[in-house]
Amino acid sequence: MATPPNSSHASSQRWSSRWLFVLAAAGSAVGLGNIWKFPYIAGENGGGAFVLIYLVCIAAVGIPIMVSEVLMGRKGRSSPIHTMRKLAKVSSRSERWSILGWMGVLAGFLILSYYAVIAGWAVSYIWASGSGAFDGASAQAVGAHFDAFLASPIELIGYQTGFMILTIWIVGRGVTKGLETAIRWLMPLLFLLLIALLVYSFNSGGFGQGFAFMFDMKWEAVTADSWLIAMGQAFFTLSLGMGTMMAYGAYVPDDANLGTTVVTIAGLDTLIALAAGLAIFPIVFANGLEIAQGPGLTFVTLPLAFGQMPLGDLFGALFFLLLSFAAITSAISLTEPALAYLVEEYNAKRQRVAISLGIICWALGLGTVFSFNIWSDITFVGGLTFFDTVDYFSQNILLPLGGMLITFFAIWMLPKGLVDQQLGIDSPKLSLGWRLVAGIIAPLGVLAVFLSTTWPLLSGLWQ
Ligand code: PHE
């Protein structure tokens, strides 16, 4: 007897509206990358000049890859692995292209394993800030708090576990009940929090300086590297190269216009990255502190700055709440390629699959937890810790390779008519222009980033 189709199959699920897809994809895109990385690299690489370069990269590389992923997802209407298999068949290409789907599953898994740990830090800092732990504290005290936190595996595991349970609970409930409900609440709250923080930072006394750091046109600070950094950032921040957008694309209604939808998503992501910079830097400058990036900026400089300000406990807690929301809407998207595949392949219950996946991912994340304490001396190739290795392999190898091959496939392997029809392109000139940008410029741009980041490590291996 044939098994009845499982109602949680990708092919039968849809976002309730085009807007929900926009919010879900923006939720995936807006993450730790926007808040702790973008503002800093913009300020350091030429301010307004870098912002312009970044916009060019978003337009020439990010948008074409995202359009390719979403259109392939919508055409395949299944998990990235099955979508690739189906599309390869339709185009009479080798089914081995499904390896792209597998790479995405692996990348999502690896990224989520450490994303949950770092998101856990943000959650812990909601309490720490809100309870006044940094009130008037010295730089040493704030640094010591962070060091002591990282040195405690039990604490880190506690927050990582909590974050993972929440993520798995949301995704296990399915697209409509789980993902959409979370997104309907979290995204508007994220916007509101950001606005509140912007108003606060506007009144901090450092707004002019913060604004100048991010937007003054400092062309002299722009180097060839700035282009590569902008391209790499455009790529990671839009969650490209691992099938997330393909998996989300599988649920996009047929009548949604892909071009305008993707431009809206990329626009929202960029707007939030810029707003994050304007919310953060003025507070840092107002307190005469040095700008840093990554964990240092987020977990030391910022708590220190908030600790010196009136109402700093409240707004510090709100900032970490914002970071936690941004992280959870990205985390849920990281599970979708693997989850959708297992549900389809084994006709399994989504909830069960989610729990199993969550447990394995959680266990892998313990390696990241220990990289900050008991395993901090254990290093792999290039002197990288377990966490750095997982981060490097997923972000610098799997994502760029995946992104390059996905656009290559979309433009050169799929039947030409199919892409034009999915994009609603009816003029031959437009079709050619699209193939030039998405089929040549975007993959070459990613290739440049890929080589520039992997070359130092690879060449080190030869010696
Ligand atoms: N875009 C997310 C960020 O900026 C990270 C991410 C990458 C999420 C790939 C999903 C897939 O933090």
Q: From the CA of 27, how far away is ligand 1's center (Å)?
A: 9
Residue pair 250/81 in contact by the 8 Å Cβ criterion: no
pLDDT in tens, 302-334: 999 999 999 999 999 999 999 999 999 999 999
CA distance 411 to 183: 32
Distance 28 CA to ligand 1 centre (A): 6
Instruction: Name the residue with tokens 């974050």.
Output: 163
Report the pLDDT value the prediction gives residue 7, as an integer from 0 to 100.
Answer: 47
Q: How far is the CA of 397 from the centre of ligand 1 (A)?
A: 15
* CB of residue 62 inside a 6 A radius of ligand 1: no
207-213 LR contacts (CB < 8 Å, sep 24+): 207/278, 207/282, 209/281, 209/282, 209/285, 209/286, 210/277, 210/278, 210/280, 210/281, 210/282, 210/283, 210/284, 210/285, 211/278, 211/281, 211/282, 212/47, 213/43, 213/47, 213/281, 213/285, 213/291
Q: Is 210 in the pocket of ligand 1 (CB under 6 A)?
A: no
Do residues 406 and 65 make contact, with C-beta atoms less than 8 angstroms apart? Answer: yes
What pLDDT, on a 0 to 100 scale, did the predictor assign at position 335? 96
Q: Output the pLDDT for position 182.
A: 97
Whose alpha carbon is nearest atom 3 of ligand 1? 31
Residues 160 and 116: beta-carbon distance below 8 Å? yes
Residue 155 burial (CB count, 10 A): 16
147 vs 117, 161, 320, CA distance in Å? Answer: 15, 20, 18
Domains of the chain: 8-458 (1.20.1740)
Residue 3 pLDDT: 42
Determine which residue's CA is closest to atom 7 belonging to ligand 1: 239
- How many Å lie between the centroid of ligand 1 and the Cα of residue 281? 22
Q: pLDDT means per 10 residues in the chain (463 residues)?
A: 47 88 97 89 91 95 96 95 96 94 96 96 96 94 96 98 98 95 96 96 94 93 89 92 96 92 97 94 91 84 94 96 97 96 94 97 98 94 90 90 93 89 89 93 91 79 63
Contact between 286 and 47 under an 8 Å Cβ cutoff? The reply is: no
Atom of ligand 1 nearest to the CA of 31: 12
Q: Is the CB of 31 under 6 A from ligand 1?
A: yes
Q: Which atom of ligand 1 is nearest to the CA of 240?
A: 9
- Ligand 1 centre from 204 Cα, in Å? 30
CA of 29 to the centre of ligand 1 (A): 5
- Cβ atoms 291, 43 nearer than 8 A: yes
CA of 236 to the centre of ligand 1 (A): 6
Q: Is the CB of 34 under 6 A from ligand 1?
A: yes
Reading the block at residue 243, the tokens are: 């099938």
384: region left, alpha or beta (phi > 0 left; psi from -120 to 50 alpha): beta
